[in-house]
């Protein structure tokens, strides 16, 4: 019976771990935050508007992340529950749980997330946050993956265009972005 959880952890590590660099990715960018984010601004539900494709979210629609603060006395951070529908808006619900801790208290924008009880971890950076428009851009620290997240299930088209333009300005290839269906919330 121990074999099944171990195999699940190995499969998860394979899916969540950054891929080995290819010659084109060898010059991967170093991702840095463009400003400070207040931890209270991370709380609540964030809806996925766009993402760079990745194995774990292949076939996902209606992506969302729910961020809640860790209890008093714990390290500064969050419990994060990520979910999506596999196979369309009415598909099977897939859920991933993570613990996120602030890796840079100066900006609060560098976050280490650990999945599957700490078996897998990944560094993320909030590279842009537009509080007044209700969106942020989260990327892996190596710049390989990126997500445009919104506090509403959809962004107005003009705001989404501004966000995508900002992602391009930050040096990311917006041609790689996919815009999964937001689903019904």
pLDDT in tens for each of the 185 residues of the chain? 433 333 333 334 333 444 333 334 434 678 999 899 998 999 999 999 999 999 989 999 999 999 999 876 666 689 999 999 998 878 899 999 999 999 999 999 999 999 988 899 999 999 999 999 999 999 999 999 999 999 999 999 999 999 999 999 999 999 999 999 887 65
> Do 13 and 120 form a contact (C-beta atoms < 8 A)?
yes
| CB-side neighbour CA atoms (13 Å) of 97 | 5
DSSP H helices in the chain = 3-16, 157-169
> Do 142 and 52 form a contact (C-beta atoms < 8 A)?
no
Dihedral, CA atoms, 20, 25, 26, 29, nearest 10 degrees?
Answer: -120
C-alpha 138: how far from chain center? 5
Q: Specify the pTM.
A: 0.82
| pLDDT value, residue 182 | 84
| pLDDT value, residue 22 | 34
| pLDDT value, residue 75 | 63
Which has the closest alpha carbon to 113: 96, 127, 129, 135?
A: 96
């Amino acid at each position: 019976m121990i074999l099944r959880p171990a195999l699940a952890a190995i499969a998860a590590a394979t899916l969540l771990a950054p891929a080995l660099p290819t010659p084109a990715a060898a010059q991967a960018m170093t991702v840095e935050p463009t400003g400070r984010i207040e931890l209270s601004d991370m709380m609540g539900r964030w809806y996925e508007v766009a993402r760079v494709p990745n194995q774990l979210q292949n076939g996902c629609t209606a992506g969302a992340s729910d961020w809640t603060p860790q209890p008093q006395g714990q390290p500064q951070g969050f419990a994060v529950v990520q979910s999506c529908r596999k196979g369309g808006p009415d598909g099977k619900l897939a859920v991933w749980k993570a613990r996120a801790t602030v890796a840079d208290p100066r900006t609060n924008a560098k976050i280490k997330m650990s999945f599957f009880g700490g078996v897998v971890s990944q560094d993320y950076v909030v590279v842009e946050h537009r509080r007044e428009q209700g969106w942020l851009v989260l990327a892996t620290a190596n710049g390989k993956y990126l997500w445009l997240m919104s506090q509403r299930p959809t962004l107005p088209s003009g705001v989404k265009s501004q966000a995508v333009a900002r992602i391009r300005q930050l040096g990311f290839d917006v041609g790689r972005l996919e815009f999964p269906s937001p689903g019904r919330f």
